[in-house]
Chain A
Amino acid sequence: MRLTEEQIYRYSRHILLPEVGGVGQEKLLRAKVFCVGVGGLGSPVALYLAAAGLGTLGIADSDQVDISNLQRQVLHYTDDIGKPKTHSAREKLQKLNPDVNVIVYKDLITMDNIRELVKEYDIVIDGSDNFPTRYLLNDACYFEKKTLISGALFQFEGQLSVFKTHKGGACYRCLYPEIPPKGMVPTCEEAGILGAVAGTIGTMQAVETLKEVLDIGEPLVDKLLTMNALSMSFNTVKITKDPECHLCGENPTILSIEEYKEHSCDIED
């Protein structure tokens, strides 16, 4: 692949960086990234990756745009209410950068299709809003040997981590061995979220993705970054690979993709 004159100009601010250069930009144009969810996290991720000239961007989301999404999901506009989020997203991303091939999946992600989807890509980005999908993506990335870039939100807080289990790193289950019972951890829908916090964590997921494709710097592997917007404090804790992990440990009990359902539970809030 040779960059055209127009591409050299479009990506000139990347190409000027010694860590990127023309070679790095060509890597970006050849890369394939799968973004699960084009909501609060997925919107900034997909926007920055498309702007960066990330060649193939798969986006999965089974929801339609709702007016209550627009406070934070910056890929979708008021005119898009009622449209599938994948279509609304593709429209914007292609207008932003025609170099990017946007592939949309508007069906639900399930245990039956997840491995086939993940297989097509180099990197998977978790911008989902529920635990079953998070465990499903973790397990699929483990079996398909893909890097997983995980972001999560709660009110004014965010979490970010990169899992490279195929390179000997920990997985999401090493960090959180069990899926919380439903009701134990409120969702954004129930608890609220400051829109720009989603933008902060999503943008950092995009940064980690670009670093990964370019193979520069130190990825946030085996580390969990937590952010609190109210105190604007960032902290990083260590994630240890768990030898007893049911998925990636020494004696695994999860040998294929399973279905994960949250157990229901009522707790006082």
Chain B
Amino acid sequence: MPSVRIPTPLRKLTADQDEVNISASNVSDLIETMESQYPGIKDRLCDESGNVRRFINLYVNNEDIRFLDGKETQLNEGDVVSIIPAIAGGL
């Protein structure tokens, strides 16, 4: 099943796990399954309409899903999904 890399700001929701395995056939399905296992995570990833927030990117095997098939992007065994939010710290 695909593995998902969880960024630090979301790890409180995944019991501090930095990587979780989720059985899902596409990204939309993955988000719903994650929400059922880690309640609250969907709200962090998606806006009220269910679209992925514009300052958080989801990558499947290092390709941004916005330039694949969005939430319909298919997932296969062994795929790596990375969640990468914008961060601003520098000082």
The judgment on whether A and B are partners is yes
A151 CB-CB contact with B under 8 Å: yes
4 interchain residue pairs of minimum CB distance: A39-B91, A178-B54, A129-B91, A188-B89
CB–CB A185/B87 < 8 A: yes
- Please give me the residue from chain A that is nearest to B40 by CB atom: A268
A226 CB-CB contact with B under 8 Å: yes
A55 CB-CB contact with B under 8 Å: no
B50 CB-CB contact with A under 8 Å: no
CB–CB B90/A42 < 8 A: yes
Q: A177-202, CB under 8 A of B: which get 1 and which 0?
A: 11110001111100101000010000
CB–CB B8/A155 < 8 A: yes
The 8 Å CB contact of A239, one of B40, B64, B86, is: B64
Name the distance in Å between A242's Cβ and chain B's nearest Cβ: 7
Interface of B is mostly: mixed
Chain B residues proximal to chain A, CB less than 8 Å: 5, 7-9, 12, 18, 40, 44, 53-55, 57, 59, 62-64, 66-67, 82, 84-91
CB–CB B91/A152 < 8 A: no
CB–CB A186/B9 < 8 A: yes
A238 CB-CB contact with B under 8 Å: yes
A159 CB-CB contact with B under 8 Å: yes
Interface residues of A in 213-252 (CB under 8 A from B): 224, 226, 228, 230-231, 235-240, 242
- Cα distance A40–B67 in the bound complex, in angstroms: 33
Q: Give the size category of A's interface with B.
A: 35 or more
Most buried by A among B12, B44, B55, B86: B86
- Cα distance A228–B83 in the bound complex, in angstroms: 13
- Cα distance A236–B87 in the bound complex, in angstroms: 16
The 8 Å CB contact of A238, one of B63, B87, B88, is: B63
